[in-house]
Amino acid sequence: MGTLAGHLLPGSFFILFSIWWSFITAIRYVQSRLNFKNRNGFKSSVTMPCIFISCRNAPIESYLKGVLGFLALLAEAYTGVNISYKNLSELNSNMNSTGHTEHNHQHQHKRSEELIKVWSFERGNIQHITMYSAFVLGSIIEILIHYGVDLPKRIEYAMGILAFSIEAFLFAFHLHGKEVVDIYVHMFLVYAIFGCIIFTSLECYNPRNVLFVYGRVLFTLLQGTWFFQVGFMLYPPTDNPAYHWDLSSHGNIMIVTACFCWHIMLIVIGLLGQLWFVKKILINSKRFEGSLESLRMIDDYTQGGRVSQQYFNLKSKHGEKNHLINHNDSSGDEDIVIDLNKNERIVLK
């Protein structure tokens, strides 16, 4: 990660998913406030359904997190390997200092011209691989839950908290030997990660509080934008001195602190603008009416009781296969099957 690309990659990762979380959260919140509100009101989820594609009943977000995290892991492993060729002269000098004979000296002198291949691995990349591995593990747990594996309730939240905690722990001990400005920008990144931990914990406790969800979104998005900020500060893509920061200047710490605060305020403004867009434009759009209705039905039927979240294929009345979701009603008296393609609710007696 000690390059510009190494910072832009995780930054894009966090920005992509946090914007999607905020988008679905805004739709859910607006729908819960309107006349056709969901039966159970607003409720969040760790992953958000991809309502604008045909296979909206598949855990697309979890697959993306797993695949992208694994690819980033492989990239860190590939770039972390260093291969160098060293001469044996240093070894010869050490041996000569111990008082070897002239014959041995001449023999070692001939060998000193030989080159040997030396393998090493960047220790910083080990930390980055560990961070990506935590998020990949969380995505695997989400996929298992989606397909009905019997796991403890809200373990997907616990895995998210664990992944953010591992990330915070790694970056908190990522500061040794760095310049003062470099230390501060990484400290601010740790603060953003702690914000994710706190609000994800609050969301796990009460997933019906929209502010807790937006707290998770805000600090995840802050991580992404701050990764971009740090990348361009430490590894500017140009030789122009105007874009190079003096990392030893204490005066620049004040500028960095102000930049961090502006990141937070601009993200808040952006989230409010997105909420306004969903409320005033998207909700009333005929083009997206079917997708919005699908999200409302998914939330209505999957948040009322204990959901198995086990997807399967059944034949409809016309003999066609449709993707259905099985839901055990909280009363336990009936099984509900929801046809996500036709937006139909079927009660199995």
For residues 12 and 6, give the distance between their C-alpha atoms in angstroms, rounded to a whole number: 10
Same domain, 208 and 272: yes
Specify if 29 maps to a domain: yes
DSSP 260-322: HHHHHHHHHHHHHHHHHHIIIIITT-STTHHHHHHHHHHHHHHSSS-EEEEEEEEE-TTS-EE
pLDDT digits (tens, 9 = 90+) for 68-125: 999 988 988 888 777 776 666 654 555 555 444 444 555 555 555 566 767 777 777 8
257-310 pLDDT, tens digit per residue, is 999 999 999 999 999 999 999 988 888 777 777 777 777 776 765 664 433 333
Looking at the structure, tell me whether residues 64 and 131 fall in a common domain. Answer: yes
Domain that holds residue 172: 4-78+122-282
List pLDDT tens digits, range 145-196: 888 888 998 999 999 999 999 999 998 887 777 888 989 999 999 999 999 9
> Does the residue 147 lie in any domain?
yes
Q: Within this chain, do residues 25 and 59 fall inside the same structural domain, yes or no? A: yes
Residue 96 resides in a domain: no
Same domain assignment for residues 225 and 314: no
Q: Is 325 found in the same domain as 256?
A: no
Q: What percent of the chain has pLDDT over 90?
A: 37
Residues 265 and 321 in one domain: no
Q: What percent of the chain is helix, strand and coil (3-state, nearest 5)?
A: 60, 10, 30
Is residue 90 a part of any domain in this protein? no
Q: Which pTM does this prediction carry?
A: 0.77
Inside any domain, residue 102: no
38 and 136 both lie in a single domain: yes
Q: In Å, what is the CA distance from 61 to each residue of 211, 298, 301, 325?
A: 22, 16, 20, 17
Are residues 258 and 307 in contact, defined by beta-carbon separation less than 8 angstroms?
no
Three-state SS at 84: strand
Same-domain pairing of 243 and 278:
yes
Torsion of CA 211, 217, 220, 221, to 10 degrees: -120
* In a shared domain, residues 201 and 317: no
Residue 24 burial (C-beta neighbours within 10 Å; 0-12, 13-18, 19+):
buried
Same domain assignment for residues 310 and 267: no
Q: In terms of domains, do 273 and 312 share one? A: no
Q: Is pLDDT at 133 greater than 70 in this prediction?
A: yes
Structure confidence at residue 199 (pLDDT): 96
Same domain, 196 and 343: no
- The mean pLDDT of 312-330, rounded to a whole number, is 40
Sign of CA dihedral 144, 138, 42, 22: negative
Mean pLDDT of the chain: 78
Q: How far is CA 41 from CA 29, 68, 184, 213, 237, in A?
A: 8, 33, 42, 14, 48
Residue 87 lies in a domain: no
Number of structural domains (the chain) is 2
For residue 192, is it within any domain?
yes
